[in-house]
Amino acid sequence: MNRLITSLLFLLFIVISLDSKACTNYLVTKGATTDGSTMVSYAADSHIRYGELYFRPRGTWPVGTMITLYDRGTNKPLGQIPQATETYQVIGFMNEYQVAVGETTFTGRHELIDSTAIVDYGSLMFLALQRSKTAREAIKVMAELVEKYGYASTGESFSVGDPNEVWIFEMIAKRTNMATDKDSQNSINIDRGAVWVAIRIPNGYVSSHANQARITTFPLENGKNSISSKNLSQIFNPEVEIVYAQDVITYAKTKGYYNGKDEDFSFSDTYAPLTFDAARFSEMRVWAFFNHINDDMKVYWDYVTGKNLKNRMPLYIKPNRKLTPQDLQAFKRDHLEGTELDMSKDIGAGPNHAPYRWRPMTWSYNGKTYLNERTTATQQTGFSFIAQMRNWLPNPIGGIFWFGVDDAASTVYVPIYCSINHVPETYAEGNGNMLTYSPTSAFWVFNRVANFAYMRYDLIIQDIKKVQSELETKFAAYTPAIDAAAQKLWETNPQIANEFLTDYSVNMANYTVKRWQELSDWLLVKYIDGNVKKEKDGKFIYNTWGFPVSPSQPGYPDSWKKSVIDQTGDKLLVPEVKK
């Protein structure tokens, strides 16, 4: 029976990990940005994740209040824990103190799953945001929660940032180990908790993670910049740059995962050993980001293509230029363009060069297994964000949560200030869901456009990019003026300043959805039935007598024609007429 239960749990977590193991995060320090802000990005890539903007208002709670935690992958209730007496407002994955958290699942050693734990990765993120004013405090909160209540998920990499710092924080559960308490004779879990490592990204550098643990070796406790969890209270010392669970190495040794010297211990190699899949499907997305901003990434091509797993990329790199939120938005749209793996260039792209492949990611033919590339931009994204944190502004003005729903390649990132009073109805929780269409939901409106574009990608994406650029360029240009106006209001009335930022955020979000609905209608008219209506500057062209001019019919590229001929031979050949 125990073996059966273990097998069922394993299968359950495999299903969950297939859903959640598909996200991409960027971490950018203030020395690597044009304006001195810090940034954390996240893409929630999941076939069941609905794109909506979460809202948790600030609250105070009586002592003894309990909260129920739910598994983020299934919504199954996991258990209850005491609520904090005070919680901070959270919009999406950013709180009113400009603390932001993102994640990617790396699974790791599935046998370490703790079936008795009640805090999963999603609960950790929300609880940390509701209880933390800095990135360091968020790490401390998360570490203490899993130590007390266990960790109910597989391996996870977290991005944790505030206006001054960004950290990468990697964690995996410890397997349940029951023993009998001598005094009470009750069964107790003597291994509950997790093993983990957190590293601050040096100023001026950037990092990334995408469903593969990336922390390898790290300096052990030295009383200066590195501490273990037995001294967790020292995490607020600004000199501390590395924090780790005190048993992260000893636990690996007791489980037989590692038997080397402590100073040679590698978290990733021990708890999430590299595989071909990890390199090709996960590390490739990190490489794509790094390759946009560093000229030396070609030396790691053999690694990310899975040919040389020993040639690992560094945890962080120095970019060749300063970055903006708009840069990160562009990087989120990467399909491996400019590389030999660009999927828009092979026969699988169809005649309209779509850089997408429907799942599954691997497929078999004649006894051999093949793959579809896993690019950063992907059709099943529920939502993504760029959290921008600015330490020279009051928190309600300094934090901007650039938020988009659906496929990052065809979304629009709208500016949501972190302390607004309410979220726009078009992005609000409860406005539709993954199985319920809502015509006023941003998620469904963006999906209508994206799924239409997939059918004739090379043509339609150009029209999408025009409106996408129109909106995002406008938002970037507006930001300094909105900041200045909010600051002026803040000096005399912070409440009015926040109402101003709320109005701006809500209006821009709703305006974006309205503009996208208009785009959806316009695209249908332009591309109906395989024709392409003639237009100029977004206006369709009529003839002298007010009748539509004949549409163009672009046909198919020569590469596609050749493929058809290679497959059909002379079946479609029109015979030449002899004169």
- DSSP conformation class of 174: P
Answer for the pair 523, 460: CB distance below 8 angstroms, yes or no.
Answer: yes
Same domain flag for 290 and 423: no
**Coil/strand/helix, residue 126:** helix
Give the span between the Cα atoms of 384 and 461, in whole angstroms.
Answer: 19
Of 297, 320, 336, the one marking the end of a domain is: 336
Same domain flag for 245 and 285: yes
Measuring CA to CA, how many Å separate 468 from each of 148, 324, 402, 404? Answer: 46, 17, 14, 11
Token pair for 265: 């211990």
Give the span between the Cα atoms of 476 and 473, in whole angstroms.
Answer: 5
Q: Which helix (H) or strand (E) holds 2?
A: helix 2-20
Same domain flag for 223 and 314: yes
Q: Which helix (H) or strand (E) holds 405?
A: strand 400-405
Q: Which residue from 120, 118, 162 is spatially nearest to 137, judged by alpha carbons? A: 162
Radius of gyration of the chain (CA): 26
Same domain flag for 293 and 434: no
Q: Which residue from 121, 122, 140 is spatially nearest to 131, judged by alpha carbons? A: 140
Position 91 in a domain: yes
pLDDT for residue 579: 77
DSSP character string of 176-241 = P-EEE-TTT--EEESS-SEEEEEEEPPTT-EEEESSS------PPP-SSSEEEGGGGGGGGSTT--
Q: Find the angle CA(131)-CA(132)-CA(136) to the nearest 5 degrees.
A: 140
- DSSP conformation class of 59: E
Same domain flag for 31 and 158: yes
pLDDT for residue 182: 54
**Coil/strand/helix, residue 67:** strand
Answer for the pair 443, 48: CB distance below 8 angstroms, yes or no.
Answer: no
Give the span between the Cα atoms of 363 and 278, in whole angstroms.
Answer: 17
**Coil/strand/helix, residue 431:** coil
Count the alpha carbons within 13 Å of 10 in the hemisphere toward its beta carbon.
12
Supply the range of the domain harboring residue 539: 535-568
Answer for the pair 115, 171: CB distance below 8 angstroms, yes or no.
Answer: no
Of 336, 360, 376, the one marking the end of a domain is: 336
pLDDT for residue 200: 98
Position 258 in a domain: yes
Question: Given the structure tokens 């739910």, which residue do they identify?
Answer: 70
Position 229 in a domain: yes
Same domain flag for 540 and 517: no
Of 336, 357, 382, the one marking the end of a domain is: 336
Same domain flag for 301 and 427: no
Position 379 in a domain: no
Position 507 in a domain: yes
Same domain flag for 23 and 150: yes
**Which regions of the chain are under pLDDT 50?**
1-20, 178-181, 187-188
Position 343 in a domain: no
Q: What are phi and psi of 420, to 5 degrees?
A: -65, 160
Print the SS3 string covering 407-427: CHHHCCCEEEECCCCCCCHHH
Give the span between the Cα atoms of 408 and 334, in whole angstroms.
Answer: 9
- pTM for the structure as a whole: 0.94
Q: Which residues pair with 70 in a beta bridge?
A: 77
Token pair for 35: 């304006």
Q: Which helix (H) or strand (E) holds 525?
A: helix 494-527
pLDDT for residue 17: 41
Q: Is the peptide bond before 360 cis (omega within 30 degrees of 0)?
A: yes
Same domain flag for 487 and 559: no
Give the span between the Cα atoms of 104 and 286, in whole angstroms.
Answer: 12
Q: Which residue from 138, 49, 157, 50 is spatially nearest to 100, judged by alpha carbons? A: 138
Phi-psi region of 472 (alpha: psi -120 to 50; beta: other; left: phi over 0): alpha
Same domain flag for 526 and 544: no
Position 364 in a domain: no
User: Beta strands of 108-193 (E only): which ranges?
Assistant: 155-161, 166-173, 178-180, 187-189
Give the span between the Cα atoms of 305 and 320, in whole angstroms.
Answer: 24
Q: Which residues pair with 209 in a beta bridge?
A: 25
The total number of structural domains in the chain stands at 3
pLDDT for residue 510: 98
Position 500 in a domain: yes
Answer for the pair 525, 533: CB distance below 8 angstroms, yes or no.
Answer: yes
Residues 6 or more apart in contact with residue 570 via CB below 8 angstroms: none
Same domain flag for 525 and 549: no
Give the span between the Cα atoms of 553 and 570, in whole angstroms.
Answer: 24
Same domain flag for 510 and 548: no
